[in-house]
Amino acid sequence: MNITDTIVLLSESKSKILNHLRKVNEENNFNYRTFGTEIEDYVVDILVKILKEAGFINSEDDYNVAKDKNEFPDFTLNTTTPKLALEFKSGNLSKKSDGKWVKCNNSNNDMGTLNKWEEKLSQFGGDNIYYIFIIYNFNDNVKEISDIQIEPFYKFIGINRDGTLKYREKDGNLRPKNFDEPSPITNLSIFEKLLGKTKIYRSKRIIKKHVKEIPIEERNVFLDSLKVLKS
């Protein structure tokens, strides 16, 4: 089956998915801390229903659901060529700061580790990985689902002031753009170029940050050893 037809179907089903999740939200007492995880089973339910009705799923062999959050992707549709990978993300428009609820511009989701993305792109092809991003607003006064967005994964990733992909330095996990920010990455080619640039940038920063911890008498030996490293 054509993957483009599936993407069109999901895009046209946004309102149906959103209304379903809003009804689920009204019927359950979700907690703002666990909503993002708890809602995922309901996302799978409505996806399977929509895809079955459209003939993209006829049996349980036609799709896979991740066993846990360490498995990528969250949902795989096996009947398209190539396979379609769907990841579920969610972000709260509110956050607690000093014990008070305030507006939140960025949910700081884990958008995948720098060193893992080449493997993911090789496995599925970058244009066949989509995020279903649920934007919700949970605080002491309201619990509502504001919107869902279904787009290629790279359209949710942010760019930092240095012109590299937005990431967390300690582990290289990519970070999203702000909720109300237009996507700074408009196609896969831009993402791939920035991915390579960001990996180099992060590596240099880590070396510069930690090289001072090496005793001076060993530092030059270490730096000289870097010159002869083979790729």
Amino acid at 18: L
Per-residue pLDDT reduced to its tens digit, 46-69:
999 999 999 999 999 999 999 998
| Statement: residue 34 has pLDDT above 70 | yes
Separation between Cα atoms, residue 49 and residue 36, nearest integer Å: 21
Q: Mean pLDDT over residues 217-231, rounded?
A: 76
| Statement: residue 219 has pLDDT above 90 | no
Per-residue pLDDT reduced to its tens digit, 107-134:
999 999 999 999 999 999 999 999 999 9
Amino acid at 58: N
Long-range contacts (CB closer than 8 Å, 24 or more residues apart) made by 123-129: 124/73, 124/82, 124/83, 124/85, 125/82, 126/152, 126/153, 126/154, 126/188, 126/191, 126/192, 127/152, 127/188, 128/3, 128/82, 128/83, 128/84, 128/85, 129/73, 129/85, 129/87, 129/153
Which residue has better confidence, 59 or 206? 59
Q: For residue 160, what pLDDT is reported?
A: 96
Per-residue pLDDT reduced to its tens digit, 170-205:
999 999 999 999 999 999 999 999 999 999 999 999
User: Which range is least confidently modeled, 58-62, 63-67, 206-210, 219-223?
Assistant: 219-223
C-beta of residue 163 within 8 angstroms of C-beta of residue 182: no
- Domains belonging to the chain, first-starting first, are 3-227 (3.40.600)
| Statement: residue 208 has pLDDT above 90 | no
Q: For residue 218, what pLDDT is reported?
A: 86
